[in-house]
Amino acid sequence: MRVLITGSKGQLGNELQLLSKSYPQHTYFFTDIEELDICNLKAVLSFITDNKIELIINGAAYTAVDKAEQEKEAAHKINAAAVENLCEAAKEYNAYLVHVSTDYVFDGLKDKPYLETDTVNPASEYGNSKLKGEENVLRYAIPSCIIRTSWLYSSFGNNFVKTILRLAKERPELRIVADQHGTPTYARDLAKAILEIITFHKLPQKPEIYHYSNMGEITWYDFARAITEIAGIAVPIHPIQTKDFPTAAIRPPYSVFSKEKIIRDYHIYIPDWYDSLKDCMAILMKSN
């Protein structure tokens, strides 16, 4: 297929570029804002028709969670309105859409892994904007899948892993939230899952929602301890409560996903979070 990938300079986009070489069955068009402004419907329609795009992977997103509380319009423009543009173009030219969403569409008040059918109830503007994007995909009812993910990190861009590595070298001790539960997702694993799905499986002809993260359940405190342990940095890390670290946006206190549906439908192997963290850390430590 001829595949358009948006957000190519983001964590997922960069990993898709690396892994695409292992899936030469497709012709890829990697774009970011410089190559294609997905907020411009005319530009999207033109790009898709000129390049005969058959499948779109939307990895573009406004991800500044706290800033979104003040920059509501910017968040909704990229996370919702631009998704509508992609849906319109996909419908017009019979292209398939894979749209990446987030755990922030949930309020995090459950105490067991979230299913795709669970009620959405975002507690932040970022979550609201991402939910609107999902709703656009569902409303257009085009052949598509929405893949929600959580706690994304990689060797690219800014993320929790890189922040902890930096702070662990700069500060005598760290204080990390220990009452928010979830699962990290190595962007390379998510990229591989997406490429496996579009290459080797029959894609659903109506919108389907899937959850994808690595396996396991931890807190941010656990995550930070694992990062410093693997890096061999002996810095004291103290657990704190969410109330001790106020942020502009409310984080879901629990956002562990059930991955049963995506495993059942596509027979993909999902690595444990710790194994994937070690893989990513090996790349980071080699580059430093």
Catalytic residues: 126
Which residues on neighbouring strands pair with residue 5, listed in sequence order? 30, 57
Contact assessment for residue 120 and residue 142, using Cβ atoms and an 8 Å cutoff: no
Residue 253 has φ and ψ, to the nearest 5°, of -65, -20
Q: Is the dihedral of CA 148, 150, 156, 158 positive or negative?
A: positive
Contact assessment for residue 14 and residue 154, using Cβ atoms and an 8 Å cutoff: yes
Outline where the chain has alpha helix (H): 11-20, 41-50, 72-76, 82-93, 125-140, 160-170, 187-200, 220-231, 260-266, 273-287
Residue 193 has φ and ψ, to the nearest 5°, of -60, -45
What distance in Å separates the CA atoms of residue 214 and residue 102, rounded to the nearest whole number? 14
Retrieve residue 260's tokens.
């049963």
Residues 6+ apart with CB under 8 A from 7: 13, 32, 58, 59, 60, 61
